[in-house]
Amino acid sequence: MSALNGKIAVVTGSGRGIGREIALKLAADGAAIVVNDLDEEPAAQTVADIEAAGGRAVACPGSVTEEGFAERFVGTAVDELGGLDIIVNNAGYTWDSVVQKMTDEQWDAILDVHLKAPFRILRAAQPVISGLVKAARAEGREVPCRKVVNISSIAGLGGNAGQANYAAAKAGVTGLTKTIAKEWGRYNVTVNTIAFGLITTRLTEAPAGGDGSIDVAGREIKVGVNPQLLDAMAAQIPLGRAGTPQEAAGAVYLLCRPESDYVSAQTLVCGGGYMI
């Protein structure tokens, strides 16, 4: 029997990149997934791929920073899949500048997506989880171990030049994780953080033709890292290379399995041995 059979997971930013691989990984082990992406098409594609492999999934597209999104996201899990067992706060992007050139808009946008959005989702999930736990105890049933995995970065542990907003947000994720672990321990929920190192995604790989960008709420955000800089960064990693989205998803998967039921309030670095 698959370890996650019967579990219901919500994964933000799971239409593409690392989030997609997390959704596919959890679904392959039996979990039903609420897939989220800014855009409907990639969310629908991930759902289709999960269903084609014999799994269950539904889409909940939209920005995690929108008012009311958290309630809609959690509600989709409950109303369409029947519960809530795993929360993965993964959605995000970077918008870099050195501090003297960083605007309030840049600061607020990155704090909103990486820190405020997870906070809102956890706040919306609390009444649902509390209610499920109370119902189980009232009926004399065992309360299953539920999981929260918040995605952070090594930038949140040691800072990174040009990323005051991103590093501050990801450092905040650590504080949020440790606090919710203490508040939700009574519900038998483990809450942990994965801090990614250099992972190859569309946000790090510059297109062959030069600079690339993504559209986020009407903003054109430059993505891609100079290949020479990527090579220099990889040279500092003991494993000698960037990680893949599949490997990043594997780290999240470890903290969603029953074997991690007594691991909580921790930060696992998925960085190929790189130390700050």
**pLDDT tens across the length of the chain (276 residues):** 699 999 999 999 999 999 999 999 999 999 999 999 999 999 999 999 999 999 999 999 999 999 999 999 999 999 999 999 999 999 999 999 999 999 999 999 999 999 999 999 999 999 999 999 999 999 999 999 999 999 999 999 999 999 999 999 999 999 999 999 999 999 999 999 999 999 998 767 655 445 567 777 777 776 656 677 778 889 999 999 999 999 999 999 999 999 999 999 999 999 999 987
**Fold of the domain built from segment(s) 8-199+244-270:** Rossmann fold (3.40.50)
What value, to the nearest 5°, has the Cα angle with vertex 168 and ends 85 and 40? 50
Catalytic position from the list 166, 187, 253, 262: 166
CA 186, CA 11: separation in Å to the nearest integer? 23
Residue 134: how many CB atoms within 10 A of its CB? Answer: 12
List the domain boundaries for the chain.
Answer: 8-199+244-270
Within its chain, how far is the Cα of 128 from the centroid? 20
Cα–Cα distance, 72 to 99 (Å, whole number): 35
Identify which of 185, 149, 16 has the alpha carbon closest to the alpha carbon of residue 93. Answer: 16
Q: Let me know if 166 is a catalytic residue.
A: yes
Report the distance separating Cα 241 and Cα 238, nearest Å: 8
Residues 6+ apart with CB under 8 A from 181: 189, 190, 191, 192, 264, 265
The whole-number pLDDT of residue 15 equals 98
Whole-angstrom CA distances from 210 to 200, 226, 268 are: 17, 9, 34
Whole-model pTM? 0.94
